[in-house]
Amino acid sequence: MLAHEQLESGESVLDLRVATSGTRPSTGHVLVLVHGLPRAAGMGRQAAGLLPELAEHLASESGWTVVTGTLSGVGGSTGTFSASQWRDDLTRLLARVGQDDGRISLAGFGFGGSLALAVAAGDERVRGVATFAAPAHLEAWCGPAPAFRQWIIGAGVVGDERKLLEADALKTDVLSIDPLAAIASLPPRRLLIGHGTDDLEVAPSDARDLLAAAEGRAELRLIQGAGHQLRADPRMVATLLGWLDRHR
């Protein structure tokens, strides 16, 4: 079952999907899926396109409630991208799903994984984080500030270009998300780091650097032959389902 909601986050209105199982008993726990930041031109509206279907599948197979929302500027959500706005969006989403006493975990893809680590580091309600193809080194991932800003515009995650930060401020804001520092603070909370061995956008070595920052206190799953887009990879889905099942 998949329910649709809208959620206000500052000046943005976020699209939210909440999936529950119609066949398995509820565990009382919640998994929040966090999409990434697309690089391809015009892909901002489709960046989270597969996540509602994934949420339904995970909920059906696990008994967890699985929530996915499109952050500012993505999908049907209004607003304009900035790392701070996305952090606020995810924090607002957690406030919505964290009203009960159930366990909350995050699973983030690409930059969404880096963001999930940062938000979890400041929110004790989050008991576990899974990342897939998450960059550990955002300075290198962004590249030069002017080119990064043009990438954001081209990707289509800008509702109002007048509200988009200037190049240096936009990149500095992203660098305030420090995945290595965040993951270092998370153990003994549950951590899963997934990465494709053939990822050309974020090097697999970033996954090992995240593991090292957590002092080895995380599960590392390298998916042989997989590239950057792991959302539809059945091996990723099986890995995530196994992680959920071990942490009921």
Q: Cite the beta strand spans of the chain per DSSP E.
A: 2-9, 12-19, 30-34, 65-70, 104-109, 126-132, 190-196, 219-223
| Domains of the chain, earliest start first | 2-246 (3.40.50.1820)
For the segment 6-24, what is each residue's pLDDT rounded down to a tens digit? 999 999 999 999 999 878 7
Mean pLDDT in residue range 189-208: 96
201 pLDDT higher than 70: yes
User: So what's the pLDDT on residue 36?
Assistant: 93
User: So what's the pLDDT on residue 194?
Assistant: 97
CA–CA separation, 199 and 230 (whole Å): 10
For the segment 221-235, what is each residue's pLDDT rounded down to a tens digit? 999 999 888 877 899
For the segment 142-185, what is each residue's pLDDT rounded down to a tens digit? 999 999 999 999 999 998 999 999 999 999 999 999 999 999 99
For the segment 96-134, what is each residue's pLDDT rounded down to a tens digit? 988 666 689 999 999 999 999 999 999 999 999 999 999
User: So what's the pLDDT on residue 2?
Assistant: 86
| Contact indicator for 7, 16 with CB cutoff of 8 Å | yes
